[in-house]
Structure 1
Amino acid sequence: MPRTVNTVTGPIDVDQLGPTLMHEHLLIGYPGWEADTLRPGPSRDEMVATCVGKIEALQAIGVRSMLDPCPNDLGRDVSLAKEVAERTGFNIICATGLYKEDEGGYAHWHFRRQVGTAIEQMAELFVHELTRGIGDTGVKAGIIKVATGVGQITDYEYSVLEAAAMAALETGAPITTHTDQGTMGDVQQQFLVDKGVPAHRIIIGHSCGSADHDYHTGILDQGSYLGFDRFGLDILVPDTQRVEALVKLLKKQRESQIVVSHDGVWCTRGEPFPQVMLDMMDPEVLMDPTHFHRRIVPRLLEAGVSQAQIDTMLVDNPRRFFAGENPPVHPAD
């Protein structure tokens, strides 16, 4: 496997990644945002300034890289990501892929499915963006993003998963997923593996949405990574539950297959999130990309987790994942 990964400013050796957050968003825009001409959202300059400020805060605590797994149909702007990366010297990896049916660009691909070409065209798109570039930006994606909803995978979402598997096999690119409420990650994993994707090339994202230890260990035992990547989003699941579930895994020495992040959304296309939603979140934590380091790491250490285990999740696992290396064999319980 190659020892390089595509960033928005070009390929780098995986050893240059350093401490890496594996699921953060510079910006998103739910499909249809452009139709609301009364609420266009922040200007490009405002978004760049916001993102530069967030990254400078990360650099101040030693973080060197991040994965922004925004799929094509959720407001992705790789030109903005490139500008931010160039201004800061920060490594940003972007994705190619499509979001889940209920909140993504379903309408376009539903039409393509009616004429029987959707899966092939999706795969062609993913391969092109991984190997040749995204539009005329010259930016190449470094990963494929897929997503499914709560408690089931729709026919459309299975189409995206199949196209992602096809592209992953052709290019060798890894896959990261979105799950809702800690469901369907095991089904995502099994489908992709059955299509030929190596399990260690898959991150099952938002696994911290579940406190089910058997669900977590089942995915780990099959060889994939867990994304404990929504720290700070207490509006969905309290961090107390995430920390408890993570500590339980770390006490069984499962750190070699876990990556961490916040799933923060730093900017939005169109109108920002409603104030009623923002009022339900801790203002000190809200979209703070340093939250894991400043507030979660001390709690992990207090619970008996070692600094070496934390470093494994932040440094070793992202490097190993993008290099395509198998995780270390886990000792028998």
Structure 2
Amino acid sequence: MLIDPTGYTYCHEHLHIDLSAVKQELDCRLDHYEKIADEMRELKQLGVSNIIEVTNSFMGRNPQFIEDLIKESGVNVLLSTGYYIEGFFPPEVENETAQQLANRMIAELEVGLGESQLKASVIGEVGSSENTFTPLEQKVFEAAVIAHKETGRPISTHQSMSTMGREQVTFFLKHQVNLERVTIGHCDLKSNLTEILWMIDQGCYVQFDTIGKNSYFPDEQRIAMLVELSKRGLLERVMLSMDITRRSHLKANGGLGFSYLITDFLPRLRVAGINENEIDIMMKQNPYQLFK
């Protein structure tokens, strides 16, 4: 068992990430161990058992950091392998074949991550740029498909600003991937219901995983889309998370913190008419089915 089915799961998070060199912002280096550990202990008390940590190599992944957090907090963390989006790729993405890239992913899934005792459990977050799906990004997706077929591990994607999800799903369909083993990330950054309905109809999971990022898209509209999906009986293909990536997102640094999803967002869903069983479907059942 890779994932604990008894508690809530955050499907798309970062507990250690460093995009500061590319973004030229120190805030994009999330590495405050004690503050993150405090928040994870709080999550454990709030009923969160699992976090899917989608930071891969060259995003600042730190398996030893995560290993310590697991031991200190008791929260189960699943780590990831893959490559992010163009602009954050190492030279090997351009220089190696999809098979060679896949071999690297397979090694992290089957052998382990660096000097830690951990292995990757998820292929992710592999992504596409805003309004485009570049040839190098498609090479990474091809490598992800190879690794998925070799290991059976699920694929978690990144959409930049909720664009190119249809193209991602079409790519997986073309490569004969079982979409029940795929989750499409960042579906909640614009009014996108038609695209979300299409993706669910193809059989994949969709993530409302930027909850609390109201400067991008207000939570009220996320709730409205979730209510509409509830009315259609489609929440069995939806998962929730916050995608915390910055120091300023942490509660001790003035941000909403990881607990916002449990303490603020879920109560608002209940008020909007989404029942406890539906919350459990999104926060427990669906992540267990995909990541087990």
Match of 1:61 among 34, 41, 46: 46
Per-residue CA deviations over 1:92-130 (Å, capped at 9, x if unaligned) read: 01100101003x1244422x1xxxx33122101100000
> For residue 236 of structure 1, what is the aligned residue in structure 2?
216
1:193 to 1:32, Cα distance in 2 relative to 1, 3 A: same
Partner of 1:133: 112
Instruction: Measure, in 1, the Cα distance between the counterparts of 2:57 and 2:173.
Output: 23
Q: Is the 8 A contact 1:265 1:287 kept in 2?
A: no
SS of aligned partner of 2:242 = coil
Name which of 251, 261, 267 aligns with 1:292.
261
Q: Percent identity?
A: 28
Task: Deviation per CA, 1:168-209: give whole Å up to 9, x if none.
Answer: 000001000010121111211121232122101111000011
1:284: Cα distance to partner?
A: 9.5
Structure 2 segments unaligned to the other structure (5+ residues): none
Q: Equivalents in 2 of 1:31, 1:231: separation in Å?
A: 22
Could you tell me whether the CA contact under 8 Å between 1:17 and 1:319 is conserved in 2?
no
Q: Helix, strand or coil for the counterpart of 1:64?
A: strand
C-alpha distance in structure 2 between counterparts of 1:42 and 1:25, whole Å: 11
Aligned-pair Cα RMSD in Å: 2.6
Helix, strand or coil: the match of 1:176? strand
Q: What does the per-residue CA deviation read over 1:21-58, in whole Å, with 9 as the maximum and x for residues that have no partner?
A: 1111112112737x99xx799897xx321221110111
Over 3 Å counting, the alpha-carbon distance change for 1:285 and 1:240 in structure 2 is farther
Q: Which residue of 2 aligns with 1:217?
A: 197
Structure 2 counterpart of 1:225, which letter? Y
Q: What residue number does 2:123 align with? A: 144
Amino acid corresponding to residue 158 of structure 1 in structure 2: Q
Moved over 4 A (4+): 39-44, 281-285
TM-score, normalised to structure 1, is 0.81
Within the candidate set 3, 13, 27, 2:16 is matched to: 27
3-state SS of 2:80 partner: strand
Q: Is the 8 A contact 2:28 2:246 kept in 1?
A: no
1:191 maps to 171
Q: 1:249 aligns with which of 216, 229, 238?
A: 229
The structure in which a higher percent of residues are helix is 2
TM superposition shift of 1:313: 0.4
1:182 and 1:175 mapped to 2: Cα distance?
A: 17
CA contact 1:231–1:239 (8 Å) conserved in 2: yes
1:315 counterpart SS class: helix
Shift of 1:18: 2.2
List gaps (5 residues or longer) in structure 1: 6-13, 268-272, 324-333
Match for 1:101: what amino acid? E
For residues 215 and 101 of structure 1, the distance between their equivalents in structure 2, rounded to whole angstroms, comes to 23
Q: TM-score normalised to the size of structure 2?
A: 0.91
The structure with more radius of gyration: 1
* Counterpart AA for 2:291: F
User: Residue 288 and residue 125 in structure 1: after superposition, are their counterparts in 2 closer, same or farther (change >3 A)?
Assistant: same
1:109 aligns with 2:78: no
Q: Distance in 2 between matches of 1:85 and 1:283?
A: 20
Q: Deviations over 1:211-251 (max 9, x none)?
A: 12211110001000010000011121111121111111112
The 3 A distance-change label for structure 1 pair 287 and 26 is farther
Matched to 2:120, the amino acid is A
CA 139–282 in structure 1, closer or farther in 2 if over 3 Å, else same: closer
Alignment of 1:265-276 (within 5 A): 265=245, 267=247
In 2, the alpha carbon distance for the partners of 1:180 and 1:159 equals: 17
Paired amino acid for 2:166? D
| CA deviation after TM superposition for structure 1 residue 17, in Å | 5.5
Measure the CA separation in 2 of the matches of 1:256 and 1:168: 22
Find the residue that maps to 1:178 and give its secondary structure: strand
Match of 1:156 in 2: 136
